[in-house]
Structure 1
Amino acid sequence: MSSRRPVIAAVIDLLFVVIFCAIGRRSHDEANAVAGLATTAWPFIIGALVGWVATWVLYRDKFDAYLIIPTGVLVWVCTVVAGMLLRVVSGQGTAVSFIIVASTVLAVFLLGWRGLAKLLPAPKN
């Protein structure tokens, strides 16, 4: 298990999910900033949390929140899939172009920071 703290990785993931939603809302000039951001972000936040729980359950003996595979990939896939399903259930849009953009941006965000983190030395205990 990495000496890096999993809670930091979870916060980074959630920040990137919120940043993704904020960028999307801004690009569409959507009003009602805080409430609108919460409405847009909650399905993806729940999806990311599902990914975290799934990763921990499946890999708890060798869980490392900073690994691209399996942690990053599982969190990313759950964020997109659960996020889109929850958007459908809640009456929000899921156009094919949005699914493609969301999948791509969230992959860059959720996998990318882990790739960059691999370049940094792990903190010593």
Structure 2
Amino acid sequence: MTSRVNNPHEYVLQLTMAIDYGGRAEIADTARRLAVDVRDGKLAAEAVDEQTFDEYLRSESVSDPDLIIRTGGQKRVSNFLLWQSAYSEIYFSDTLWPDFDEEQVAEAFRWYGTRKRTYGLVK
């Protein structure tokens, strides 16, 4: 489920909640569909790159998340957007999802605001 909100600062916030979703299954399905299209001559093997893979994903309409909030005290990604979260910042909270309120969301955004995004670059 995805919801977009336009705000007065002229940028879009997108909230994505994945229910009954598995990142590994999505990657396997994407690889299978790419292989079929290569086999059937619809796509050259040399054309398969990160952008093509992105286009074949079931979740291709979901932008790569800048911030992932993990509630409930777990310190893992739990099969969530494995391909898309390569450069996401992950905020961990001990608060359980039903109790995660506006103040906790604001705290996660404040934390995110302190991050220096490197998108995989190592200094």
Q: Which has the higher helix share?
A: 1
TM-score range, shorter chain: under 0.3
Q: Which is higher, the Rg of structure 1 or of structure 2?
A: 2
More strand as a share of residues: 2
